[in-house]
Amino acid sequence: MDVNKEFFSNITSRERAIFEGAISMGALFHQFVGTPVNNQTKKSLEDAMRNSLNLQPAIEDVEVNIDFTRLEDAMSEFDYTSLTGDMLDVKIHTKVDDVKAVIRIKFIEELNYPLMYVEDIKD
């Protein structure tokens, strides 16, 4: 079965680059939010997030940064916290044919919300 021909011939390469990056961003957020984390384990969690999302279709690279400042504000009596979307600063790079896109999540103060958007797209 030719997956691309069968299921993706109705959208452009540009649209596919956006589609695959957006799926992976939604996946990353809802898979990992809630995970116990602190300064000592931040790197290990960032690695697992990057490596697991890298497996998905069209993903070229994933840059994950769990934001230190907010992490410390949220720290409990027990010296760790649960990962929230507000702590995430992530760029997912996708490539479909000649199109390259960067999907971003970043906490936007004015919105009180970790916004997902297309930061860059080139074709």
Chain residues binding its own copies by CB under 8 A are 1, 3, 7-8, 10-11, 14-15, 18-38, 40-41, 44-45, 47-49, 51-57, 75-80, 82, 84-85, 108, 110-113, 115-118, 120-121
The CB-of-61 to its own copies minimum distance in angstroms stands at 14
Q: Closest Cα to residue 60, out of 89, 26, 31, 96? A: 96
Q: Does residue 116 have a known ligand-binding role?
A: yes
When the beta carbons of 32 and 91 are compared against its own copies, the nearer one is 32
Residue 95 is given by DSSP the state E
Does the annotation list 20 as a binding residue?
Answer: yes
- Smallest gap from Cβ 97 to its own copies, in A, equals 16
Q: Kindly provide the residue ranges of all beta strands, DSSP E only, lying in 11-58, ordered along the sequence.
A: 36-37
70: left (phi over 0), alpha (psi -120 to 50) or beta: alpha
User: Strand (E) positions, 7-112?
Assistant: 36-37, 59-66, 81-82, 88-96, 99-108
Shortest gap between Cβ of 118 and its own copies (angstroms)? 5
Q: Which residues are annotated as a binding site?
A: 20, 116
